[in-house]
Chains A and B, each alone.
Chain A
Amino acid sequence: MHIIVPIKQVPETSNVKMDPVTGTMIRAGVGTVVNPLDLFAIETAVRLKEAHGGRITTLTMGPRGADKALREAMAMGCDDGVLISDRAFAGSDSWATSYTLSQAIRKLGDFDLIVAGERATDGDTGQVGPGIAAWLDLPLATYVAAITRVEPARGLTVERLVEEGYQVVDLPFPALITVVKEVAAPRLPTLRGKKRAKAAEIPLFTAADLDLEPSYLGLKGSPTKVVKVATPKVTRGGTLVRALDEDAVADAVDQLLAFLDARDLLPTGGRA
C-alpha cells in the first residue's frame, strides 16, 4: 500500500499567551510544529502500514525550513518526505494550496490512500483535504473517527463522526480521508526514527518541477483575499462573584439566576 500524508507546519500555539493589554498573541519565542491534528493522520498511516505493509510518503508545502516538519513525521514512521517550496506558492489560500498539493501528488505516481488532518490550527479552514479530493477526483470521507475494514487494493470502511452519530461509509481505493483525534493516539518518535529522519534526503519540488497553471498559484491565484485582521477583545468584562461559604454560594447562585433570567436564558414557565 502506498499512503500519502500531507502535513502542515504551524506556529506552536500550546504555550501561547495572550497579551492582556493589547489583546494580541505573544509570538516571541514561538516555534513551529507539525499541525497537532496532523499527528492523527500520521499515526493512522503508520498503523495501516504496520497492518498491511507498504510505504508512506509525507509532503508539505511551505517555506524551505518546513523539512523540519517532514523529519518529525518521518521519525514517527513515514518512509519518505517531499518538500514543496517556491516563492510562487506564497500566500496561497485553500483553493490554491489544494491545487499545488494535488499536482505534487500526481507527480508522486500511484497511491492507495491520502490521509489528511481535519484542520490546521492556524488557517483553520479544514478545506485543503476535500479540495485535494476534488482536484484528483478521489472518493472522500471526512471526519473519520475509525477505520473498521481494509481490503488492500479494493477499499475500506470508515466511521465518520458527524452531528447525528457515527456514519458508516465504504470507499474504494484510491481514496482520501481526513481524520479526527479519536482515530488513533499518536506515538512518540523513536530514537532510531529520529536518527533516520535526520539523515534522510528530502527531495524539493519547486514550481519548475511541477506541471502547474501559473495563474492558479500563490496569492495571485487565490480567489479569497484577507482584507482585514482584527483582534477580538479577550475579556468580556464580566461579573466575578466569590462564593467561599454556604451562604455565599446561595447568594452567588441567586445572582447567577437573575443574570441568566435577564438574558432570557432560563427555561420558561417557572419563577425564580
Chain B
Amino acid sequence: MSFVWTLAEQHEGRLKAVSYELLGRGRALADKLDTKLASLLIGDGVSDEQLQTLVHHGADEVYAIQDPRLASFTCETYSNVLVHLIKTYRPSVILAAATSTGRTLMPHVAVRSHAGLTADCTELDIEPGTGHLLQTRPAIGGNIMATIKTPDHRPQMATVRPKSSRPLPADPTRAGRVIEVPLDLVLVDERVQARGYRGDAVDFVNLEEADVVIAGGRGMKKAEHFALLQGLAKALGGAVGATRDAVDRGWIGYPHQVGLSGKTISPRLYVGAGISGAIQHLAGIKTSETIVSINSDPDASLHQVADFGIVGDLFQVLNELQRRLDERRRGGEEDRA
C-alpha cells in the first residue's frame, strides 16, 4: 500500500503551523485513496510531545529523522534523506509547504526521483476512477488556475501554498505511531554550511504565516504613517505588508513587499490601505480569504477585487478603526474583570 506523505517543517525545534495544514490536506487524500497518511519530519530537537500532535492532527504514522546536522535546512542533505526514503518506501503522494524550504527541496528531490512536481497548489483532489492526484494552482500572476496531473510517475509531488487551508481540529485520542529514523551519515553533504541568521532576525515578519496582513501603499504618503498599520496589525493579530512603491520609497523593508516581485500570501484577512491594486500586487494577494480595501478612489482596482471596500480617506478610516478596536478590547477586558 502506497502512503500519502506530508513534510512537517520545524524551526529551532518547534513545528511550524503549516505542518498541520498539510496534514488536513493529506488526510482527505489518504481517505479517498484508502491508504495511510504519514508525516515526515527532517530536523532536530522536536520533542516527542510535539511529534504526537502530528498524530492528533491526522497522521497515522510520523517518521522523525532528527540529528544536529539537520537542525538548519541545507538542500543537499535534506534531499539525500528524502530521496533515500522515497526509494525505500515508495509513497504515492508527497505534499510539502510552498515555503522557502519546500520550494527548494521539492524540485531538487523531484528531479532526482524522476517525479513530477506541481508548484504552490491551492486545491488538491483525487481523480475518480484513476486515483491520480489533481493539483490546482494559480499561474501567470494568479490570472489563471491550472489543474495538473502526473499520470505516469510516482510519487506525485506538490507544494501547497501556506494558509490556503485550515488544519483539522486536534484530536488527542487519535491513534498513530511515532517512529524515530536514525540519520545514515553517508547522506550528509557538508559542501553547503548554514551559519545561522543575520542579527536582525528578532521580530522578523513572517508574512506568509500571518493570519492577518495589513498592507499599505503609496497612499500612506510617508514612512511614519506605517505606524498606523503596525497599530492595526497588533490589534487584529497580524503583520504589516506593503506594495513595491512603498518599499522602493524606503518606507518599509523588502521582506514586507507583497506581489509579483515580493511575497505571495494567503491570509484569512488582507487589508489594503492606499493601494491601487496593480496586477503585480494582486498576484500576491488573490488567494486571500477576505480582502478589504480602503482607497479614496472609487475606481481603484483593489476595490474591484475586495469583499469589502471603503471609499474614503485612509487616515480617517484607519484612525477610526483603531479607536473602535481599542474600545472593543477595553470592553472585553472589563467584561472579564
Contact = CB atoms under 8 A, between A and B. Distances in A.
Size class of the A contact interface (CB-based, 8 Å): 35 or more
B60 to A, nearest CB: 27
Contacts of B230: none
12 contacts: A125-B120, A170-B192, A181-B257, A224-B117, A229-B144, A230-B145, A232-B138, A238-B291, A246-B316, A257-B324, A266-B325, A271-B328
Q: What 8 A-B pairs have minimum CB-CB distances, sorted nearest first? A: A223-B116, A165-B201, A243-B312, A270-B328, A270-B332, A127-B107, A125-B119, A134-B111
Contact of B111 (A14, A95, A162, A226): A95
A48 interface: no
Given A224-B150, A229-B145, A234-B305, A253 B324 contact: yes
Contact of A124 (B115, B119, B208): B119
Given A13-B279, A163-B209, A164-B197, A229 B146 contact: yes
B100 A160 contact: yes
Contacts of A239: 307-309
Interface in A61-97: 93-95
Contact of B331 (A139, A224, A244, A271): A271
A100 B301 CA distance: 40
B140 A122 contact: yes
Nearest to A248: B312
A95 B307 contact: no
Interface of A: 11, 13-14, 16-18, 20, 25, 36-37, 93-95, 98-99, 121-131, 133-135, 139-143, 145, 157, 159-172, 180-182, 222-232, 234-236, 238-244, 246, 248-250, 252-257, 259-260, 263, 265-272
A241 B309 contact: yes
Size category of the B interface is 35 or more
B90 interface: no
Contacts of A98: 107, 111
Nearest to A166: B198
A224 B316 contact: no
A16 B147 contact: no
B39 to A, nearest CB: 19
Contacts of A223: 110, 114-117, 150, 152-153
B111 A243 contact: no
A1 to B, nearest CB: 19
Given A171-B192, A232-B145, A142 B103 contact: yes
A166 B200 contact: yes
Interface stretch (B30-38, B61-69, B217-225, B260-268): B260-268
B298 A240 contact: yes
B184 interface: no
Contacts, number: 301
Contacts of A240: 298, 303, 306, 309-311
B106 to A, nearest CB: 8
Contacts of A168: 194-198
A123 B144 CA distance: 11
A241 B200 contact: no
B84 interface: no
Contact of B193 (A122, A170, A244, A272): A170
Interface string B286-313: 1000111000001000011111111111
Contact of A243 (B138, B235, B311): B311
Contacts of B141: 13, 121, 124
Interface stretch (B49-57, B71-79, B174-182): B71-79
A263 to B, nearest CB: 6
B311 A139 contact: no
Interface in B230-280: 235-237, 254-255, 257, 260-262, 268-269, 279-280
A139 B191 contact: yes
Given A242-B311, A248-B312, 4 more contacts: A124-B139, A126-B103, A162-B101, A242-B312
A172 B191 contact: yes
Contact of B321 (A160, A165, A226, A256): A256
A158 B189 CA distance: 18
Contact of A18 (B109, B119, B143, B261): B143
A214 B103 CA distance: 27
Residue picked from A130, A234, A259, most chain B C-beta under 10 Å: A130
A229 to B, nearest CB: 5
A172 B76 CA distance: 13
A169 to B, nearest CB: 6
Nearest to A272: B328
A225 B100 contact: no
A11 B279 CA distance: 14
A18 B278 CA distance: 11
Contact of A130 (B107, B120, B138): B107
Given A226-B146, A266-B236, A249 B317 contact: yes
Contacts of A263: 269, 290
Given A125-B120, A164-B204, A167-B194, A244 B311 contact: yes
B280 to A, nearest CB: 7
Contact of B328 (A126, A248, A266): A266
Contacts of A18: 143, 279
A167 B331 CA distance: 42
B48 interface: no
Nearest to A102: B111
Contacts of B117: 94-95, 125, 127, 223-224
A253 to B, nearest CB: 5
